[in-house]
Amino acid sequence: MITDTLMLVEHNPVITVGRRTDASHLLTTKEYLASKGVALHTTERGGEATYHGPGQAVCYLIADMAVVNHDVRQFIWNLEEAVIRVLSRDYDLQSGRAPEHRGVWIDDKKIAAVGVAFKHGVSMHGIALNVNVDMTPFSYIVPCGIPDRGVTSLREVRGAPAVMTDVFSSLAAAIKEVFVYE
Protein backbone atom coordinates (compact mmCIF):
# COMPACT_ATOMS: atom_id res chain seq x y z
CA MET A 1 0.00 0.00 0.00
CA ILE A 2 1.21 3.50 -0.83
CA THR A 3 0.46 6.69 1.02
CA ASP A 4 -1.99 9.21 -0.39
CA THR A 5 -0.53 10.55 -3.63
CA LEU A 6 -1.26 13.61 -5.75
CA MET A 7 -0.40 13.49 -9.43
CA LEU A 8 -0.58 16.71 -11.44
CA VAL A 9 -0.38 16.17 -15.19
CA GLU A 10 -1.19 17.48 -18.63
CA HIS A 11 -2.52 14.86 -21.05
CA ASN A 12 -2.08 14.42 -24.74
CA PRO A 13 -5.39 15.23 -26.50
CA VAL A 14 -8.01 12.71 -25.38
CA ILE A 15 -11.75 12.55 -24.89
CA THR A 16 -12.67 10.32 -22.00
CA VAL A 17 -16.11 8.92 -21.41
CA GLY A 18 -17.24 7.96 -17.93
CA ARG A 19 -19.69 5.34 -16.79
CA ARG A 20 -22.73 7.60 -17.25
CA THR A 21 -21.92 8.87 -20.76
CA ASP A 22 -24.85 8.84 -23.17
CA ALA A 23 -23.72 7.81 -26.67
CA SER A 24 -25.43 10.91 -28.09
CA HIS A 25 -22.97 13.11 -26.16
CA LEU A 26 -20.18 12.16 -28.53
CA LEU A 27 -20.89 14.48 -31.46
CA THR A 28 -18.49 12.95 -33.96
CA THR A 29 -16.83 9.66 -34.85
CA LYS A 30 -13.73 8.05 -33.42
CA GLU A 31 -12.21 8.31 -36.90
CA TYR A 32 -12.81 12.07 -37.06
CA LEU A 33 -11.27 12.47 -33.60
CA ALA A 34 -8.23 10.48 -34.72
CA SER A 35 -7.88 12.73 -37.78
CA LYS A 36 -7.71 15.69 -35.37
CA GLY A 37 -5.16 13.94 -33.16
CA VAL A 38 -7.63 13.28 -30.34
CA ALA A 39 -7.83 9.82 -28.78
CA LEU A 40 -11.04 8.38 -27.31
CA HIS A 41 -11.01 6.27 -24.13
CA THR A 42 -13.64 4.79 -21.84
CA THR A 43 -12.81 5.15 -18.13
CA GLU A 44 -14.15 3.81 -14.84
CA ARG A 45 -14.71 7.26 -13.41
CA GLY A 46 -18.10 8.75 -12.78
CA GLY A 47 -19.42 11.52 -14.94
CA GLU A 48 -19.83 11.80 -18.64
CA ALA A 49 -17.69 12.87 -21.61
CA THR A 50 -14.90 15.38 -21.19
CA TYR A 51 -11.77 16.49 -23.00
CA HIS A 52 -8.22 16.49 -21.63
CA GLY A 53 -5.27 18.07 -23.37
CA PRO A 54 -2.16 20.19 -23.11
CA GLY A 55 -2.81 23.35 -21.10
CA GLN A 56 -5.23 21.63 -18.75
CA ALA A 57 -4.19 20.92 -15.15
CA VAL A 58 -5.40 17.43 -14.30
CA CYS A 59 -5.19 16.45 -10.64
CA TYR A 60 -5.38 12.81 -9.61
CA LEU A 61 -5.64 12.42 -5.86
CA ILE A 62 -5.16 8.76 -5.02
CA ALA A 63 -6.25 8.68 -1.41
CA ASP A 64 -7.64 6.43 1.26
CA MET A 65 -11.22 7.58 1.75
CA ALA A 66 -10.55 7.80 5.48
CA VAL A 67 -9.15 11.26 4.67
CA VAL A 68 -12.82 12.39 4.40
CA ASN A 69 -14.39 9.82 6.71
CA HIS A 70 -15.44 7.75 3.67
CA ASP A 71 -17.76 10.55 2.51
CA VAL A 72 -17.74 10.64 -1.30
CA ARG A 73 -19.61 13.95 -1.46
CA GLN A 74 -17.08 15.54 0.89
CA PHE A 75 -14.23 14.24 -1.26
CA ILE A 76 -15.72 15.82 -4.39
CA TRP A 77 -16.53 19.04 -2.48
CA ASN A 78 -12.89 19.22 -1.34
CA LEU A 79 -11.57 18.86 -4.89
CA GLU A 80 -13.88 21.64 -6.06
CA GLU A 81 -12.92 23.78 -3.08
CA ALA A 82 -9.23 23.52 -3.89
CA VAL A 83 -9.85 24.89 -7.39
CA ILE A 84 -12.16 27.64 -6.09
CA ARG A 85 -9.43 28.77 -3.67
CA VAL A 86 -6.76 28.81 -6.38
CA LEU A 87 -8.93 30.87 -8.71
CA SER A 88 -9.79 33.34 -5.93
CA ARG A 89 -6.39 33.70 -4.27
CA ASP A 90 -4.09 33.58 -7.26
CA TYR A 91 -6.23 34.97 -10.07
CA ASP A 92 -8.81 37.14 -8.26
CA LEU A 93 -11.67 35.26 -9.95
CA GLN A 94 -15.07 34.54 -8.46
CA SER A 95 -16.05 30.94 -9.07
CA GLY A 96 -18.31 28.47 -7.38
CA ARG A 97 -20.51 25.43 -7.58
CA ALA A 98 -23.77 24.91 -9.45
CA PRO A 99 -26.37 23.12 -7.32
CA GLU A 100 -27.44 20.81 -10.15
CA HIS A 101 -23.97 20.05 -11.58
CA ARG A 102 -20.59 19.00 -10.19
CA GLY A 103 -17.46 20.96 -11.01
CA VAL A 104 -16.34 24.56 -10.67
CA TRP A 105 -18.14 27.31 -12.55
CA ILE A 106 -17.57 30.91 -13.53
CA ASP A 107 -21.01 32.28 -14.26
CA ASP A 108 -22.67 29.64 -16.48
CA LYS A 109 -19.44 28.13 -17.83
CA LYS A 110 -17.55 25.21 -16.35
CA ILE A 111 -13.87 25.86 -15.76
CA ALA A 112 -13.09 22.62 -13.90
CA ALA A 113 -14.66 19.18 -14.28
CA VAL A 114 -14.76 16.47 -11.62
CA GLY A 115 -14.80 12.75 -12.31
CA VAL A 116 -13.96 10.28 -9.59
CA ALA A 117 -14.20 6.60 -8.85
CA PHE A 118 -13.41 4.58 -5.76
CA LYS A 119 -12.11 1.05 -5.51
CA HIS A 120 -11.52 -0.75 -2.23
CA GLY A 121 -11.87 2.56 -0.38
CA VAL A 122 -9.26 4.37 -2.50
CA SER A 123 -10.01 7.28 -4.81
CA MET A 124 -9.11 7.33 -8.49
CA HIS A 125 -9.31 10.08 -11.08
CA GLY A 126 -9.94 13.64 -9.90
CA ILE A 127 -10.44 17.14 -11.24
CA ALA A 128 -9.38 18.92 -14.43
CA LEU A 129 -8.90 22.70 -14.52
CA ASN A 130 -8.95 24.35 -17.94
CA VAL A 131 -5.96 26.68 -17.89
CA ASN A 132 -4.54 27.37 -21.38
CA VAL A 133 -6.18 24.42 -23.11
CA ASP A 134 -7.40 24.56 -26.72
CA MET A 135 -11.18 24.71 -26.31
CA THR A 136 -11.98 23.40 -29.83
CA PRO A 137 -12.16 19.69 -28.87
CA PHE A 138 -14.95 20.45 -26.38
CA SER A 139 -17.13 21.08 -29.46
CA TYR A 140 -16.79 17.37 -30.34
CA ILE A 141 -18.79 16.39 -27.23
CA VAL A 142 -21.56 17.53 -24.93
CA PRO A 143 -19.17 18.38 -22.09
CA CYS A 144 -20.14 16.53 -18.91
CA GLY A 145 -23.53 15.80 -20.51
CA ILE A 146 -24.67 19.41 -20.01
CA PRO A 147 -26.01 20.76 -23.31
CA ASP A 148 -27.18 24.17 -22.11
CA ARG A 149 -23.98 25.47 -20.52
CA GLY A 150 -20.53 26.15 -21.86
CA VAL A 151 -16.97 25.58 -20.83
CA THR A 152 -14.24 28.13 -20.31
CA SER A 153 -10.58 28.37 -19.39
CA LEU A 154 -8.42 30.51 -17.18
CA ARG A 155 -6.82 32.01 -20.30
CA GLU A 156 -10.23 32.84 -21.77
CA VAL A 157 -11.51 34.48 -18.57
CA ARG A 158 -8.29 36.42 -17.87
CA GLY A 159 -7.50 37.27 -21.49
CA ALA A 160 -3.96 36.01 -20.94
CA PRO A 161 -2.28 32.64 -20.45
CA ALA A 162 -1.29 31.39 -17.01
CA VAL A 163 1.99 29.69 -16.18
CA MET A 164 1.21 25.98 -15.80
CA THR A 165 3.89 25.34 -13.17
CA ASP A 166 2.38 28.11 -11.04
CA VAL A 167 -1.09 26.59 -11.42
CA PHE A 168 0.21 23.14 -10.45
CA SER A 169 1.99 24.55 -7.38
CA SER A 170 -1.13 26.44 -6.31
CA LEU A 171 -3.35 23.39 -6.80
CA ALA A 172 -1.00 21.19 -4.79
CA ALA A 173 -0.97 23.69 -1.92
CA ALA A 174 -4.76 24.09 -1.98
CA ILE A 175 -5.37 20.32 -2.02
CA LYS A 176 -2.97 19.92 0.90
CA GLU A 177 -4.85 22.65 2.78
CA VAL A 178 -8.39 21.50 2.00
CA PHE A 179 -7.73 17.82 2.70
CA VAL A 180 -5.68 18.81 5.79
CA TYR A 181 -2.47 17.05 4.82
CA GLU A 182 0.61 17.86 6.90
Per-residue pLDDT tens over the stretch 92-133: 999 999 989 999 999 999 999 998 888 998 998 899 999 999
Which amino acid does the sequence have at 148? D
Asked if 155 and 147 count as a contact pair (C-beta separation under 8 A), the reply is: no
Instruction: Verify whether residue 59 is a known catalytic residue.
Output: no
Lowest mean pLDDT among 17-21, 81-85, 150-154: 17-21
Q: Residues 111, 112, 116, 144: which is the catalytic one? A: 144
Over residues 142-170, the pLDDT tens digits come to 998 889 999 999 999 999 999 999 999 99
Q: Are 15 and 30 in contact (CB under 8 A)?
A: no
Lowest mean pLDDT among 67-71, 102-106, 176-180: 67-71
Tell me the CATH number for domain 5-178: 3.30.930.10
Residue extents of the structural domains in the chain: 5-178
Phi, psi of 144, rounded to the nearest 5 degrees: 55, 20
Q: Which amino acid is residue 40, in one-letter code?
A: L
What are the CA-CA distances from residue 182 to residues 67, 90, 173 (Å)?
12, 22, 11
